[in-house]
Amino acid sequence: RVAFLGYAGTKPHSEIISNGNIEIVPLTELKIWQVGPRFFQYIIKVIVQSFQLLYTLLRIAPPGYVLLQNPPGLPSIVVSWIFCLLRNSKLIIDWHNYGYTLMGLTHGKRHPIVRIAKWYEELFGSLSSYNICVTNAMKEDLQRNCNIRAITLYDKPASFFKETHLSEQHNLFIRLSKDYAPFKAGDHLPDHVERSAFTQFDAISGRATHRLGRPALLISSTSWTEDEDFSILLDALKGELSRKLLVLLKKPAVFRMNRQGV
């Protein structure tokens, strides 16, 4: 059996909800009084969250393993480590990033809170039984900077992820073209042909097809934070493309890059 602990947000997939071997244990996001200095507020928040998480963990059946995503790791790493000691369980940390680097974006790298968070993450992160990450670069960084040995496990999409039918792709591009100019066809067409920058639909034949010479389309499969340099990927593409590239991001929403640069 598997117990999922986390804050309520995006609704889990129906296969997870309907699975009798999976228990979803929601955590309530507590409201902390905004009284006193910010540093004091942060300490109170960490203490309250620690007791809340430990109390919730102790109410579930003792697990063989605890899999923890980091970040956020403050205070979940030390609480999970204590819980594993009490229940004789193994702690596995899934390293997505470092929590202290995210805090550094708000407070600055040299802020005392950030320095404490860095020390905390490196110390208690090294006490886990196993560590995993999704890239060899993260694996090497963990070993070099934190003396943490990790195993690289690449992401694999679930079986319900399928390639979108071309007609659905076309309908999506047409909808996007109403708000974003790069998706527009930019040429005059017969009345029976509907065209986006990537696809076209012929009403006579009833078929949707890809356009020849269409731009390359790059979509980030995951979100990322401001401390991650996504421009490295774009820089790697410079000089390699003979066509325009359309990149979809949350920040910024849409921009183009050609062979000369962004």
Q: What is the pLDDT of residues 51-97, one digit of tens each?
A: 999 999 999 999 999 999 998 888 999 999 999 999 999 999 999 88
Q: Are residues 178 and 110 in the same domain?
A: no
Beta-carbon contacts of residue 112 (< 8 Å; ≥ 6 apart): 39
Give me the pLDDT at residue 196, please. Answer: 92
Bond before 182 cis per omega within 30 degrees: no
Residues 84 and 200 in one domain: no
Per-residue pLDDT of the chain (262 residues; tens, 9 = 90+): 899 998 877 788 888 888 999 999 988 887 776 777 777 888 888 899 999 999 999 999 999 999 999 988 889 999 999 999 999 999 999 998 898 988 888 888 888 889 999 999 999 999 999 999 989 999 999 999 899 999 999 988 777 788 889 999 999 999 999 988 888 887 777 788 899 999 999 998 999 999 988 887 877 666 666 666 667 777 777 666 555 666 665 554 434 444 333 3
Q: Could you tell me if 12 and 141 lie in one domain? A: yes
* Residue 146: inside a domain: yes
Residue 222 falls inside a structural domain: yes
- Report phi then psi at 185, rounded to 5: -70, -40
What is the predicted pLDDT for the residue at 68?
96
In a domain, 261, yes or no: no
* Mean pLDDT rounded to a whole number for the chain: 84
CA distance 35 to 248: 41
Tell me, yes or no, whether 260 lies in a domain: no
In a domain, 54, yes or no: yes
Check if the beta carbon of residue 226 is closer than 8 Å to that of residue 101: no
- Alpha-carbon separation of residue 169 from 116, 194, 214, 234 (angstroms): 48, 13, 14, 24
Residue 202 resides in a domain = yes
Position 153 scores a pLDDT of 94
Non-local CB neighbours of 25 within 8 Å, separated by 6+ positions: 3, 4, 5, 56, 59, 60
Q: Are residues 183 and 177 in contact, defined by beta-carbon separation less than 8 angstroms?
A: yes
User: Could you say which of 119, 152, 185 is where a domain stops?
Assistant: 152
The length of the chain, given as a count of residues: 262
Same structural domain for residues 70 and 139?
yes
Asked if residue 12 belongs to a domain, the reply is: yes
This prediction's pTM: 0.73
Do 124 and 171 belong together in one domain? no
For residue 241, what pLDDT is reported? 59
Q: 62 to each of 39, 41, 84, 88, how far by Cα in Å?
A: 35, 32, 9, 8
Q: Residue 209 pairs with which residues in a beta bridge? A: 200
**Rounded CA gap, 236 and 249, in Å?**
17
One domain for residues 6 and 132: yes
Give the pLDDT confidence score for residue 58 in this predicted structure: 94
Q: Are residues 175 and 125 in the same domain?
A: no
Question: Is 67 found in the same domain as 12?
Answer: yes
CB-count exposure of residue 41 (10 Å: 0-12, 13-18, 19+) = middle
**Among residues 152, 183, 214, which one ends one of the domains?**
152
Residues 132 and 153: beta-carbon distance below 8 Å: yes
pLDDT at 235: 75
Domain residue limits at 180: 164-233
Asked whether the beta carbons of 119 and 156 are under 8 A apart, the reply is no
Q: Are residues 8 and 122 in the same domain?
A: yes
Q: What's the number of domains the chain is made of?
A: 2
Domain shared by 123 and 37, yes or no: yes
Residues 56 and 177 in one domain: no
| pLDDT of res. 181 | 86
Q: Which of 83, 117, 152 is the last residue of a domain?
A: 152
Domain identity same for 88 and 188 = no
pLDDT at 144 (0 to 100): 93
Residue 23 CB coordination number (10 Å)? 13
What is the CATH classification number for the domain harbouring 62?
Answer: 3.40.50.2000
Q: Is residue 158 part of a domain?
A: no
- The string of DSSP letters for 21-76 reads TEEEEEEP-PPPP--S-HHHHHHHHHHHHHHHHHHHHHHSPPPSEEEEEESS-TTH
The pLDDT value recorded for residue 261 is: 39
